[in-house]
Amino acid sequence: MNDFGTILLVLLIAVVAIFVLTILFRAIRIIPQARAGVVERLGKYHKTLNPGLNIVIPLIDRVRPLIDMREQVVSFPPQPVITEDNLVVSIDTVVYFQVTDARAATYEIANYLGAVEQLTTTTLRNVVGGLNLEEALTSRDNINGQLRIVLDEATGKWGIRVSRVELKAIDPPLSIQDSMEKQMRAERDRRAVILTAEGTKQSQILEAEGARQAAILKAEGDAKAAVLRAEGEAKAITTVFQAIHDGDPDPKLLAYQYLLTLPKIAESDSSKLWIIPSEFTEALTSISSGFLGNKGAHGA
C-alpha cells in the first residue's frame, strides 16, 4: 500500500511538472524581426507583440497569426478597362504596400490583400475611363501617381501604406494592335526613306564639292603651267636676242634670226602682241632690196 501511494505521488508530481512546463512554454513567445503579433485577452484586443521575447498568459491570452510588416509586392491579374473612346484595354498592375499598424490591419478589414486588389481595379477603371487610348498609353506616370494617391488615402485607415503603383502592361485590342503595328512600320519606312535621301543628298554634295575643288585645282595648275611656259619661252627668246645682240650681227643676219623666231612666238597662247624692232624693218628692207637687186641684175 505504501508503494502504491508512492507511485501515485510520483505520477502526480510528474503531471504537475509537465503542466507547469507546458504553461511556461506557452507563456513565452518569440516574435521574429519584421513581424507583429496581435494578442487578444478573453476575446478582446489586448496588445501587439513586437519582435523579440514576449510573455503572454496561457489559456487567457490568444495570439493571432503573425503579420508581415515588410513592404510587399503584389501583381494583380490583367483587368479589362474601357477607355474614353470606348476601347477595351487589358491592364496589369503591380502594387507596393506595407502594413504599418498590425491592429488596424487585423480589425479594420477582413482581408486587406483582397481589399487592395479590388480597390486598385476600381480606381484604375475610374482613372483610365477618363482617358483615350493614346493618353492611356503615353500617361503611365500620371496614372501611377493618381492610383497611388487614391489607394494610399483609402487604405490608411486599414493600417496600410501604399508606396508605389505601377502599370506593368497596357494591351489594346488585337485590331488596334495591328493598326498600331502598321502605323509604326510605315513610320519606320518613312524615316528610312528620309535617312536614305539625306545620305544621298550629302553624298552628292560631297561629290560636287570634290569635283569643284578638283576643277579649281586643275584650273590653277593649268594657269600656273601656262604662266611658267610663257615665262620660259619669254626667257628663251630674251636669251636668244641677247646672244644675237652680244654677237653684234649685221642687220641682215638679225632680220633672218627674227624671222626664224616668229613661228615660236606665234605658238604661245600668251602672245597677244608682237613687237617688231626698227632694226628688223631696216634689215627687211635691205634683204628685200638685195633680192630685188639680184633679180634685176639677172633680168638685165
pLDDT of residue 37: 92
Mean pLDDT check: name the lowest of 70-74, 135-139, 156-160, 227-231: 227-231
34 and 8: one domain? Answer: yes
Measure the CA angle with vertex 8, ends 4 and 13; round to 5°: 150
Structural domain including 94 reads 70-172
Residues 43, 137: one domain? no
Higher pLDDT, 237 or 35: 35
Q: Which of 192, 211, 234 is the last residue of a domain?
A: 234
Say which residue, 222 or 153, is predicted with more confidence. 153
HSE (side-chain half, CA atoms, 13 Å) at 122: 9
Residue ending a domain, choose from 120, 151, 172: 172
Residue 160 reports pLDDT greater than 90? yes
Task: Report the domain count for the chain.
Answer: 4
